[in-house]
A = this chain, B = another copy of it.
Amino acid sequence: MGKLLIVGTVAFDAIETPFGKSDKILGGAATFIGLAASLYKNDAAIVSVVGEDFPRPYLDLLSNKGIDTSGIEVVRGGKTFFWSGKYHNDLNRRDTLATELNVLADFNPVVPESYRDSDVLMLGNLHPEIQMDVIRQMRTKPKLTVLDTMNYWMNHTWDTLMDVIREIDVIAINDEEARQLSGEYSLVKAAAMISAMGPDYVVIKKGENGALLFHKDRIFFAPALPLEDIFDPTGAGDTFAGGFSGYLAETENLSFDNLKNAVIHGSNLASFCVERFGTERLQNLASEEIQSRLRQFRELTQFDIEVE
């Protein structure tokens, strides 16, 4: 059972989909990552920042899942990061209605002493300087560092982002981001180009079209589970990252075969995330449900062809 350090936003989200509208609810990359990772046997901690308006029960919710929240700074008189978005009818596109950075604007992450030797470091989407700051605070180099980032940082902080990308082992981004980062349309070429920037493993998330794992000349693909309905895609990518890193922190096996399994576990949890608003489904997920859906993943993808 390894230690997992998660860095990312803990926030309020307000979400509108074709199926309904949420109030200001619990959100943020680190929240989704943490809740997903807590479904595996690991020792996880979140480093983040919230304002004084952040409800104590939300922090308790994370603690009750076994997540160390001592690295979540509560800024007196500060307001919590807030994001609001509205999804189009096909759920593949969304408009951001509001982004209020608030306390995130001056965030100086402090990694708790006892997690500076974490086995797995999961860097959620954040300013690359914050990500780099955390990397520098580690006393020992993590066995695996996983990075999420987005187009915004490619457009505004390219050099710092490149510094971060040189330090990490796995980058997990979506297809659009992979294309922008590499300048290549073909995802095979994009992955090769990105890997040359540093990371040994490139994970390209394609939403409802699954996820690809690239390592040297090897490729693995996991589909998204076909669902009757997708209710709210918010947090699916972070949930994937949480399942992926949480499973690896539990198993402490960094073989390609085990990273394949981690991709399946991440995809599996993401399929739950999208069934309700925000973190609702992740908060209440029975082990039997997870196992049952892993069986569905196996039936969905496994075949037995004799090859000469």
Contact = CB atoms under 8 A, between A and B. Distances in A.
Given A219-B300, A300-B220, A305 B261 contact: yes
A3 B115 CA distance: 66
Contacts of A257: 303-304
Contacts of A103: none
Interface residues of A, number: 42
Contact of A228 (B186, B287, B294, B300): B186
Given A189-B228, A229-B186, A291 B307 contact: yes
A185 interface: yes
A156 interface: no
Contacts of A220: 299-301, 303
A298 B294 contact: no
A251 to B, nearest CB: 11
Nearest to A227: B188
A287 B189 CA distance: 27
Interface string A191-228: 00000000000000010011010000011111100111
Contacts of A308: 287, 291
B301 A221 contact: yes
A185 B209 CA distance: 15
Given A188-B228, A223-B223, A299 B90 contact: no
A136 interface: no
A260 interface: yes
A261 B303 CA distance: 7
A302 interface: yes
A74 interface: no
A305 B298 contact: yes
A264 interface: yes
A210 B305 CA distance: 18
Contact of A303 (B189, B230, B264, B291): B264
Nearest to A214: B226
A303 B206 contact: no
A105 B242 CA distance: 58
A187 interface: yes
Contacts of A298: 305, 307
B226 A221 contact: yes
Contacts of A186: 227-230
A125 to B, nearest CB: 24
Contacts of A221: 223, 226, 300-301
Interface of A: 89-90, 185-189, 206, 209-210, 212, 218-223, 226-230, 257, 260-261, 264-265, 287, 291, 294-295, 297-305, 307-308
Which 7 interchain pairs have the tightest Cβ spacing?
Answer: A209-B209, A221-B223, A260-B303, A188-B228, A294-B307, A188-B226, A291-B308
5 contacts: A90-B185, A188-B228, A209-B209, A261-B305, A295-B307
